[in-house]
Structure 1
Amino acid sequence: MDIINNYIDQQGKINIIPRKQKGKIVVFEYMMAYISQNGTHFTEKELNDTIQEIYTDFATMRRYLIDYQYLERDPYGKCYAVIERKES
């Protein structure tokens, strides 16, 4: 059983952000795969709308994705970009 299935419903929407680090990373990777289908650069509204399609608390998720360096925000907070992650 895939770990992500513990955190999503049958429609693929995220139910919860786990407390444990391993679970969080799985959820964030899932979210980033979803976000990246729509491009790599977003306005705040575009990003919020995309996140909200599969997780209701878009502000918390957006903050996590920035804190965990999946996304970066311009100094004005108006534009967001996907950070390319290197495989180790």
Structure 2
Amino acid sequence: MGLEAATGGGLAMPPDADPETEKLFRAFVRDGRIVAMPAKYSRRRVLLDYVARLFEPGVRYPEKDVNDMLSLVYDDFAELRRFLVDEGFMTREYAVYWRSGGTVDI
């Protein structure tokens, strides 16, 4: 998906979303942007999985690029970046990030 997709509208509800995912997006995402981070752990993990899909597997991103991409979908991009790393969706080493978890579309 990458930066191009994020600039084209941010997070989009998948066309084949189940009712629970639809409910999650209706509650926490407006116009492709996260309006609030879910307090419930399981909901937050599902939302983070969709955020992680903005990053291509196998690509290494400088921190500035990660911040730029995340700022397109959430005001507190630093918090979102920490969540992604803490929950194992991304790995960080020397200010370089790469996707290390989450769902991969094939």
TM-score, structure 1 normalization = 0.81
Which structure has more RCO (C-alpha within 8 Å, separation ≥ 6)? 2
- Residue-by-residue CA offset, 1:40-84 (whole Å, 9 max, x unaligned): 32000000000001111010000010000000001x2x2001004
Aligned length: 83
User: Percent sequence identity over matched residues?
Assistant: 27
Gaps of 5+ in 2: 1-18
Could you list the structure 1 runs, at least 4 aligned residues long, displaced by more than 3 angstroms after superposition.
84-87
The aligned runs of 1:1-88 (5 Å cut-off) are 1=19, 2=22, 3-9=24-30, 11-36=31-56, 40-74=59-93, 76=94, 78-85=95-102
Tell me how far apart the structure 2 counterparts of residues 28 and 86 of structure 1 sit (CA, whole Å).
Answer: 10
Tell me how far apart the structure 2 counterparts of residues 51 and 45 of structure 1 sit (CA, whole Å).
Answer: 10
Instruction: Quickly say closer, same or farther: Cα 1:49–1:31, change in 2 above 3 A.
Output: same
Gaps of 5+ in 1: none
Quick one: which amino acid aligns to residue 97 of structure 2?
Y
